[in-house]
Amino acid sequence: MSSSVPRPRSLRPRSLRPRTLRARLIAGLVALLVIIFAGVGLAVTTALQHYLLVRLDQQLSDTGGRYAASLERAADPVGHSVDRRDTRAQAPGTFGARLLHGIVTAAGVVDGDADDAGVEAGTIPADTDDLVKLTAADQRTLAALPVAGPARTADLANLGSYRVRAVAGQDGDVLITGLPLRPLTDTVHQAIMVEVTVFAVALGVAGLAGALWLRLALRPLDRIAVTAERVSALPLARGEVVLTERVPGTAADPATETGRVGLALNRMLGHVEDALAQRHAVEDRLRSFAADAGHELRTPVATVRGHAELALRHPDPIAPPVRHALERVEAEARRMGAIVDDLLLLARLDAGRPLATAEVDLTRLALDCTDDARAAAPTHHWRLDLPAEPVLATGDEDRLRQVLANLLANAHRHTPPGTTVTLQLTGHRLTVTDDGPGIPPDLAPHIFDRFVRGDQARSRTTGTTGLGLAIAHAIAAAHGGSLTLRQEDGRGAVFVLTLP
């Protein structure tokens, strides 16, 4: 089962493949050069080998088979000395053999430079060759050679590889002449060594030069990346944003490909800057509208409420349905007044108006708020967890009290009776924990947005507006702190207010 689950990236074995564009281009260049060098090396070596072989075959036919023929004569009068073998003008290593009816009667190898000495003395010098013993396999190989056919390569057990050729002798025998392949293979090996050395050096130089050149060529791309990274680190989400980052000069040259990317990025940043400025203007207008509307509504709402109260207190008897209607008018006017106050407060916090800064005793605050909550909701269990020492913080006491009161009110308004609510103070952190039903998962991500409520239908009748947490969040932020929600195991809500 678990094998079908894809492993996280970090657990996978590190791939050896290069990751940066630069490394990949260099690897590609080196791979291409290796292929080219291998091809060139193979072609040159094959051509050289072929050329040397043709030359060796030519040399073989140029020897005229004199040495092998002399073996024939030397073997003729049985028991005669071996110094009649003719090694003149024969290259050292020349192999000769005489076969009679498929059986080797004599075989030898020229082992010194007999040429000059022989000619000058007019005699055939002794000890310039060695008669050799051939194995049975060698004899079979030689016997299988086609007479007067093309030269062939034969591997002789004691002598190594030879290029051999057979011709018919004078009395029904076969004369075989051979030249060693050793010099040829030595030359080819040497050529391969030279090629490998030269190619390795060329590869190293090409790799280094390529890396250097790529570094220069990709420098504009680096500048673009740096600009993009700087922009991505800017807090663009809200408020007034100063977006002056641009890709610098040469990296935005329309004549090059990278320059076009840089130019496009600059243009895009310009558009984004315009859009953000527009958003800020709209936000400003909306904020001032909310503030203006709040101010304008305050007086009429208060007037409605005042008149409803006045009518209810009138000494004349009021018909029960009218009394009920007036009570509803008063209650709703009170609620409306609270909403208007909340909206005005939010507008003020949005505008970044400075809050009062005084020393606030968080311990005292926690005590007061829990007392209030206990009085307001005796159906719940209220627990307070305070440190031994009093904790002091700097801020606006009324606003902080509002945040705590709101969190505690939520903890009893949105949970069933019997729920235990704990307020804990540790350092500058206040945590409100309840063991109620918790925040529905689909609501949690938006819990601090405005007018977000759990049960919309029920909330409207119970008189909640969904502004409480939005205000608490804004107050925490205005203090330079934070308000966060922690949900554990889907049961109970945990709100954490952290002050700097």
Ligand X SMILES: Nc1ncnc2c1ncn2[C@@H]1O[C@H](COP(=O)(O)OP(=O)(O)OP(=O)(O)O)[C@@H](O)[C@H]1O
Q: Identify the CA nearest to 426 among candidates 366, 475, 479, 360.
A: 366
For ligand X, the closer of residues 248 and 466 by Cβ is 466
The residue among 395, 323, 331, 335 whose CA lies nearest residue 359 is: 395
Q: CB 471 → Mg ion: shortest distance, Å?
A: 9
Q: How far is the CB of 399 from Mg ion (least distance, A)?
A: 15
Report yes or no: 149 and 177 within 8 Å, Cβ to Cβ.
no
- Binding partner selected for residue 436 from Mg ion, ligand X, none, CB under the kind-specific 5 to 8 Å limit: ligand X
| Span near Mg ion by CB under 5 A; candidates 66-74, 122-130, 180-188, 461-469 | 461-469
Shortest CB 304 distance to ligand X, Å: 20
Question: CA 62 to CA 67: how far, in whole Å?
Answer: 12
Binding residues with Mg ion: total (CB under 5 A): 2
Long-range Cβ contact pairs of 136-139 (< 8 A, separation 24 or more): 139/103, 139/104
Residue with Cβ nearer ligand X (49 or 498): 498
**Partner whose footprint covers residue 415, from Mg ion, ligand X, none (CB < 5 to 8 Å by kind):** ligand X
Binding-site string for Mg ion from residue 468 to residue 487, where x marks contact by CB under 5 A and - marks none: x-------------------
Which run of H or E residues covers position 356? none
> Binding partner of residue 465 among Mg ion, ligand X, none, CB under 5 to 8 Å per kind?
ligand X
Select from 126, 116, 119 the least CA-distant residue to 85: 126
Q: How far is the CB of 470 from ligand X (least distance, A)?
A: 6
Task: Give least dist CB 339 to ligand X, A.
Answer: 8
Say which entry of ligand X, Mg ion, none residue 293 contacts (CB below 5 to 8 A, set by partner kind): none
Q: Which one, 154 or 447, has the nearer CB to ligand X? A: 447
Is the CB of residue 272 less than 8 Å from the CB of residue 244? no
Find the DSSP H helices in 233-379.
257-312, 320-350, 362-376
* Binding segment (CB under 5 A) for Mg ion, from list 24-32, 277-285, 389-397, 466-474: 466-474
Q: Which does 114 bind (CB under 5 to 8 A by kind): ligand X, Mg ion, none?
A: none
Nearer to ligand X, 65 or 468 (CB): 468
d(CA 376, CA 167): 127
CB 375 to ligand X: min, Å: 18
Q: Residue numbers of the site for ligand X (CB under 6 A)?
A: 406, 410-411, 413-415, 434, 436-439, 447, 452-454, 459, 464-470, 493
Q: Least distance to ligand X from the beta carbon of 279, Å?
A: 25
Whole-number Å distance between alpha carbons of 421 and 433:
6
Whether the Cβ atoms of residue 396 and residue 355 lie closer than 8 Å to each other: yes
Q: How far is the CB of 291 from ligand X (least distance, A)?
A: 19
Q: Which of ligand X, Mg ion, none lies near 411, with the C-beta cut-off 5 to 8 A by kind?
A: ligand X
Cβ closest to ligand X, residue 179 vs residue 432: 432
Query: What is the maximal distance between C-alpha atoms in the chain?
Result: 169
**Which has the closest alpha carbon to 339: 301, 284, 285?**
301
Q: Smaller CB distance to ligand X: residue 15 or 461?
A: 461
List, in order, residues 6 or more apart from 75 with CB less than 8 Å away: 98, 105, 106
Q: How far is the CB of 404 from ligand X (least distance, A)?
A: 12
Long-range contacts of 264-270 (CB under 8 A, 24+ apart): 265/224, 265/227, 265/228, 269/231, 269/243, 269/245
Report helix, strand and coil shares of the chain as percent, to nearest 5. Answer: 55, 15, 30
Q: What residue 447 binds from ligand X, Mg ion, none (CB within 5 to 8 A, per partner kind)? A: ligand X
Q: Which does 402 bind (CB under 5 to 8 A by kind): ligand X, Mg ion, none?
A: none
Binding of Mg ion at residue 262 (CB under 5 A)?
A: no
- Tell me which stretch binds Mg ion (CB under 5 A): 246-254, 381-389, 392-400, 463-471: 463-471
Please identify, using beta-carbon distances, which residue of 329 and 494 lies nearer to Mg ion.
494
Structure tokens at 464: 């909640």
Three-state DSSP state, 108: strand
**207 touches which of Mg ion, ligand X, none (CB within 5 to 8 A by kind)?**
none
Q: Which amino acid is at 156?
A: L
- DSSP string for 187-227: HHHHHHHHHHHHHHHHHHHHHHHHHHHHHHHTHHHHHHHHH
For Mg ion, the closer CB: 213 or 451: 451
User: Between residues 256 and 487, which has the closer beta carbon with respect to ligand X?
Assistant: 487
Distance CA 230, CA 11 (A): 30
Residue 474 CB, shortest distance to ligand X, in Å, is: 11
The Cα–Cα gap between 415 and 408 comes to 11
Residues 397-436 that bind Mg ion (CB under 5 A): 410
Site for Mg ion in 333-372 (CB under 5 A): none
Closest CB 485 distance from ligand X, rounded Å: 9
Question: Under the rule (CB under 5 A), what is the footprint of Mg ion?
Answer: 410, 468
